Structure 1
Amino acid sequence: MPPRRRARLSARPYSSVAAAEQCPRGWLTARRNRPSKRARRVTTVTAQGGEDDGTPLTDEILVGIFAGLPGFSDLVRCAATCRRWCRLVSGEAAFICRGAARRRPPPLRTLALGFFYSHRDGAVPRFAATASASRRLGLRQPSLNALVEGLDDGLFDASRVVASRNGLLVVELQRRKRERALKLCVCNPMTGEVTVLPPLGGKEITSPFACAILTADDDDESHLSDPPTSPSSYRLLLVYGRRGFTACRTYTSDGGLWGPEAKVTKTVRLGKKTMASMTATGVVVRNVAYWHAKGIVLGVRLDTLRAEHMDMPSTGHHPAGNTLLGVSPDGRLRVVQIVAQAGKESVTIGVATRSAAGDKWDPLEVIGVVGRLLPAETTRMKLRWMCEKSGVVFLTAGFADGQTNEVYALSLDRRQESERVASHHGGDGDLHGYEMDRTSYLCSLAMDEDDP
C-alpha cells in the first residue's frame, strides 16, 4: 500500500482553535466537553432574566470589584460563592488577571499540572500529569500531536520542547535532511492555540541557543514602552553565540515576525560548551532574563540588552550538581539546590534569594529534608524543573539498578508535600515542567460547577 502522506508544515502562524471550531483540542475545551455526572443546580432567575445572587449590582460593577481584589485566593473564593459570580470570574478572567493588584500573587500549587518528556529519541513529546491535573482536566498522557490532529498531522514528530513558562511551550520542530533552518512553534495546551513561527536560516542563528518566553504578566511588571495588545501576546528571546560576541533575536506575537539580530553588551564570551550547558528556559525577574551555566548566572536586560553576571551562591556544602533558578514569592531571583550531606535522611533543599538591592545573595535557607519524602531505596536525586508561579519542584529519584527513575513533585511551601508523578526505565532524558497561567486557572473554575 502507498505510504501515508504527511501533512505539509504550515509556514504561517495559525491557531488550532480557530481552524477547527467544531473540534477544538485545548485541554480546557476537552475538560469542558466532558459530560456532567450530576444534575445542575437549580438557579433562581429574576424578572429581568438574570441570575439572582441577592446583589443589586450589575455585571460590570462586579467585574470591576473582582479586578481590584488584593489576592488571587480572594478571586477563587468569590467564584465559589454562587453560579453568577463563578460565571463572571471565569468569563472575564483575562481582564481580571491584568489588574494592577495582581502582579505578584502568592504561589498557587494547583497551577503545576505535570511535565512534558520524550521517552525516546525522535518520539513525540508526551505529558505526565499530576493527580490533581488528572482529576480536574482528565489528562491521560496526551501527546502534543493531539493539539493539531486533523490540521497538520505529524507536526510534532521528532520534535523537542525547549522552553515552558506561563502556560506556553516552545517546541523545536524536526529538521529535514541537509536543512539547517531552525523551526520553532509556540503552543498553549490549555487553549489549543498553536503558532508556527517563521523559520530562521543557518546564517540567521547558530546552535546551541537558550531562550526565554515573556508574556503579558512580565510586561505588566517591567513597564515597557510597547506593552502587548492582548493578554495572550508574548515575546520569545533567543540568545546564542557568534564569533567574538553574544547575539540575540526577538520574536513578537503581535507582529508575527523576528526582529533583527542584536548584540548583547557587557557579556563574557560564551563558547559552545557553555551555551550547551545553559538552562534552556530563562527565568524572568524585573525585566531581566536569567540562565545559569557552569557556576555562573547570566542575565540579559530586556530593554537595553546589557548582560549581568553573578556567581552562584556559596552554600558551605557541596551541591550534587543540583541547581535550579526560580522566583521568590516577592519577585526576587532565587537559587534552589539539593545540599548533599552524610546519609539520605540529611539531604536537604536549600534556597538562596537575591537581596532586595540585587548586589548579593541572602544567606542560604534550608526549607526541608527531601530525603524523608522519598522511598528508602533511593540512591540518588536530581532536581529537574522549578515552576515559577506554583512553587513546585520536579525532581528525579534513582535506584540501585541504575535504570529505574521516579519523578516527584515537591512543593517548597511549609507543608512540604510530595507526590510521585511518573515512573520509567532508562536515563533521565529530557523533562520540562508545565504549569498553566492564572487566566486558564480562573477559566477552569466554571467547570467545577459540573464536577461530580
Structure 2
Amino acid sequence: MAKSKRRAVDAAGVLSDDLMREIFARVAWGVLDLVRCAGTCTRWFRLISCPAFLRRVGISSENACHRSSFLLGAFYIPEATPIKIPKLGKRRKSHLPPRFFKLSTEQTRGERLTFTKFIPNKNGIFNYARPLAAHRGLLLVERLTHDWQKLHLAVCHPLIGERSTRLLAPPPQDLDPINVGYYMTGYAIVTASNHVQPTFQVHFTIECYDDKLVYVFSYSSAMDSWSAPIKCFQTFGLTRCGPRAGMVNSDIVHWLYRGNTNFCTLNISADATHVSLTKIPIQVKRGLSPPFPCILGEGKLSFVNVRDKDILELWTKREQDNDHSWEGKEGWVHSELMPLEVKGIEILYFAESSCVIFMLQKECPSIFALNLVSKKMEHVIEEDGNMSMFYSYVGYEKWRDQSHVLYELDWPSYLFHLSARSHEVQ
C-alpha cells in the first residue's frame, strides 16, 4: 500500500463507525468507488457491505434475498457492430469498447460509464467487444476481430481490473456460420460455488445446419483448454428461445427451448459431463413471448410468463432435480403475479440479488422493475436520453439491441479474487 493511502487509512481509524458511515454516505462517490473502498481494509468492508448502509445509499433493495450480492448495472455495446472489423494498426487505439450503465431499483437516474473505467483497453483488444454473460462478478465477453472463423472470448472481473483479464484460446473448430454452417445459440459462465479457487467454466452452444442438432463446447480455466464438443440429441426438432445467456443454478446451466406445444430446458452440468432435457408445463401460444427464466427462493428454477391480456404468472419447479422426465403441472407451483397496468411489455433482465425483473414497454419506451417477492412495480428509466442505451442505429433505422448483460456484485467472489490478485502482486 502506498504511504499516502496508508496515512489516510490510519487517520480514518480514529473516527467512529457512525462518523465513517456518514462520510461514506455523503461524499459524492459512485457505487464503483464505494465497492473499491470496501476492498481497502477489513473495517471499511464491514461498514460499506452492511445491508442497512447499502439500502441507505440506494444500492441494495429493502427485501434483497441475497445479502452477499447486489445489482450494479448493465454492460452493453454502444452502437451497432460494423459488418467488417478492421485490423488493428500499429497504434492500436481504443475504439468502441463496451459501456456500462448504472442501474438500481431504488434510483431512477442512471450513469453511463466507459468500459475502460473497469478494464484498460490496451492495444484495442476490447474494440467492438460484446458482453455475453455474467455470473458471481465475472464477465464473459466476445472479442470481435477480423478473423470471423474463430471465436475469441475473454473473462474478467471488472472491479478487479486488468490483472483479472484472461484471454481464452479459440476452440479448435472453425465456427464461421457462412463457411462452416454453425450458428452460436447460447453461452454461459460458471464459477466455483465455494470460492476455494478462482476457477471458472465457459459453455457455449451452436446449432449445426446439416444435422439440426445442438453441440455444447466447454472451456475449463483450471485446464486452460476446451473439451470435445457434446452432441445433444435431445434438442432435435426444438428451437432455442429466450435469453441467449444461460441461467446458472446449482452449478447447472439452463437454456430455454420451444417445441410444438410446450417449452423445455436444456440442462448442462458445470463440468459438461451431464446433459438432460426438462419439459415445463407452459404452452406455446402464437404472438406471445416465451417465458423468462429466473431463480427464486432456495435456488428454485422458475419462469415468469406473460399470459393473454398482459397478465404475469410465475411457474416454480418443486424439486430441483433436473431430470429429463415429464412431470406435468403437479411438479410445478403456479401463481398469478399481477395484471399489468402497462401494455406490450418485454422482459429484459432478471436480478437474482433482489428477485426483480426489468421490463421494457415497447410502445412508449420506458423501463419498469417488478419485485417478484413484494409484487411492487415501479419506473426505473423514463422515456428520455437514457433509453438510447437499449437501441442501436443502422443508417437511419432504429432497432432494439439485445447485447445487454446485467452485472451483479458478489461480495465473496470479489474479496476472493481481490485476495488472489494481492498474492500475485507480492
Q: Following the alignment from structure 1 to structure 2, what is the Cα–Cα distance between the partners of residues 390 and 409?
A: 11
Q: Following the alignment from structure 2 to structure 1, what is the Cα–Cα distance between the partners of residues 286 and 66?
A: 29
Q: Following the alignment from structure 2 to structure 1, what is the Cα–Cα distance between the partners of residues 79 and 207?
A: 29
Aligned-residue Cα RMSD (Å) equals: 4.0
Q: Which aligned pairs between 1:228-247 and structure 2 lie closer than 5 A?
A: 229-230=196-197, 232-242=198-208, 243-244=210-211, 245-247=213-215
Verify the 8 A CA contact 2:155 2:166 in the aligned structure 1.
yes
Q: Deviations over 1:369-424 (max 9, x none)?
A: 442xxxxxx54210011123331212111225xxxx22333322215243414423
Question: Against the structure 1 CA distance between its residues 210 and 270, is the aligned structure 2 distance closer, same or farther, given a 3 Å change threshold?
Answer: farther
Structure 2 segments unaligned to the other structure (5+ residues): 17-37, 50-63, 82-95, 177-181, 322-326, 392-397, 417-426
Matching residue of 1:126: 99
Q: Following the alignment from structure 2 to structure 1, what is the Cα–Cα distance between the partners of residues 303 and 100?
A: 26
Counterpart selection for 2:244 from 275, 280, 299: 280
Q: C-alpha displacement at 1:172, in angstroms?
A: 0.8
Matching residue of 1:299: 267
Question: Against the structure 1 CA distance between its residues 293 and 208, is the aligned structure 2 distance closer, same or farther, given a 3 Å change threshold?
Answer: same
Question: Against the structure 1 CA distance between its residues 379 and 310, is the aligned structure 2 distance closer, same or farther, given a 3 Å change threshold?
Answer: same
Matching residue of 1:268: 235
Q: Deviations over 1:341-366 (max 9, x none)?
A: 2xxxxx33321011226445423212
Residue aligned with 1:111, SS? strand
Counterpart selection for 2:334 from 344, 364, 373: 364
Matching residue of 2:297: 329
Residue aligned with 2:281, SS? coil
Tell me how many residue pairs correspond in the alignment. Answer: 328
Higher relative contact order (CA 8 A, sep 6+): 1
Question: Against the structure 1 CA distance between its residues 258 and 121, is the aligned structure 2 distance closer, same or farther, given a 3 Å change threshold?
Answer: same
Verify the 8 A CA contact 1:113 1:132 in the aligned structure 2.
no
Matched AA of 1:433? L
Question: Against the structure 1 CA distance between its residues 153 and 338, is the aligned structure 2 distance closer, same or farther, given a 3 Å change threshold?
Answer: farther
Verify the 8 A CA contact 2:288 2:306 in the aligned structure 1.
yes
Q: Which aligned pairs between 1:36-435 and structure 2 lie closer than 5 A?
A: 40=12, 42-43=14-15, 87=45, 106-108=65-67, 111-122=70-81, 123-131=96-104, 140-149=111-120, 152-176=122-146, 179-192=148-161, 193-203=164-174, 206-217=182-193, 220=194, 229-230=196-197, 232-242=198-208, 243-244=210-211, 245-255=213-223, 257-264=224-231, 267-269=234-236, 274-275=239-240, 277=241, 279-294=243-258, 295-303=263-271, 305-314=273-282, 320-341=288-309, 347-356=310-319, 358=321, 359-360=327-328, 361-371=331-341, 379-399=343-363, 405-414=365-374, 416-421=376-381, 422-424=386-388, 426-430=398-402, 431-435=404-408
Question: Against the structure 1 CA distance between its residues 415 and 241, is the aligned structure 2 distance closer, same or farther, given a 3 Å change threshold?
Answer: closer
Q: Deviations over 1:114-154 (max 9, x none)?
A: 2222342125322221257989xx983113243343x5143
Question: Percentage identity across aligned positions?
Answer: 17
Verify the 8 A CA contact 1:170 1:185 in the aligned structure 2.
yes
Q: Following the alignment from structure 1 to structure 2, what is the Cα–Cα distance between the partners of residues 165 and 441?
A: 12
The TM-score, its normalising length taken from structure 1, stands at 0.61
Q: Following the alignment from structure 2 to structure 1, what is the Cα–Cα distance between the partners of residues 69 and 196?
A: 28
Verify the 8 A CA contact 1:109 1:390 in the aligned structure 2.
no
Q: Following the alignment from structure 1 to structure 2, what is the Cα–Cα distance between the partners of residues 130 and 396?
A: 14
Question: Against the structure 1 CA distance between its residues 370 and 106, is the aligned structure 2 distance closer, same or farther, given a 3 Å change threshold?
Answer: same
Matching residue of 1:436: 409
Q: Following the alignment from structure 1 to structure 2, what is the Cα–Cα distance between the partners of residues 182 and 212?
A: 14
Question: Against the structure 1 CA distance between its residues 331 and 180, is the aligned structure 2 distance closer, same or farther, given a 3 Å change threshold?
Answer: same
Verify the 8 A CA contact 1:409 1:419 in the aligned structure 2.
yes
Question: Against the structure 1 CA distance between its residues 126 and 120, is the aligned structure 2 distance closer, same or farther, given a 3 Å change threshold?
Answer: same
Q: Following the alignment from structure 2 to structure 1, what is the Cα–Cα distance between the partners of residues 168 and 415?
A: 28
The TM-score, its normalising length taken from structure 2, stands at 0.64
Q: C-alpha displacement at 1:290, in angstroms?
A: 0.6
Q: C-alpha displacement at 1:159, in angstroms?
A: 2.0
Verify the 8 A CA contact 1:108 1:390 in the aligned structure 2.
no
Verify the 8 A CA contact 1:229 1:254 in the aligned structure 2.
no
Verify the 8 A CA contact 1:114 1:133 in the aligned structure 2.
no
Residue aligned with 1:363, SS? strand
Q: C-alpha displacement at 1:90, in angstroms?
A: 7.8
Question: Against the structure 1 CA distance between its residues 319 and 326, is the aligned structure 2 distance closer, same or farther, given a 3 Å change threshold?
Answer: farther
Q: C-alpha displacement at 1:296, in angstroms?
A: 2.6
Q: C-alpha displacement at 1:180, in angstroms?
A: 0.9
Verify the 8 A CA contact 1:112 1:434 in the aligned structure 2.
yes
Verify the 8 A CA contact 1:279 1:293 in the aligned structure 2.
no
Structure 1 segments unaligned to the other structure (5+ residues): 1-20, 23-31, 45-79, 92-104, 221-227, 342-346, 372-377, 444-452
Q: Following the alignment from structure 1 to structure 2, what is the Cα–Cα distance between the partners of residues 357 and 322?
A: 21
Q: Following the alignment from structure 1 to structure 2, what is the Cα–Cα distance between the partners of residues 324 and 237?
A: 20
Q: Following the alignment from structure 1 to structure 2, what is the Cα–Cα distance between the partners of residues 116 and 264?
A: 31
Question: Against the structure 1 CA distance between its residues 251 and 379, is the aligned structure 2 distance closer, same or farther, given a 3 Å change threshold?
Answer: same
Q: C-alpha displacement at 1:189, in angstroms?
A: 1.7
Matching residue of 2:179: none
Q: Deviations over 1:419-449 (max 9, x none)?
A: 4144236432122222111336789xxxxxx
Q: C-alpha displacement at 1:201, in angstroms?
A: 4.7
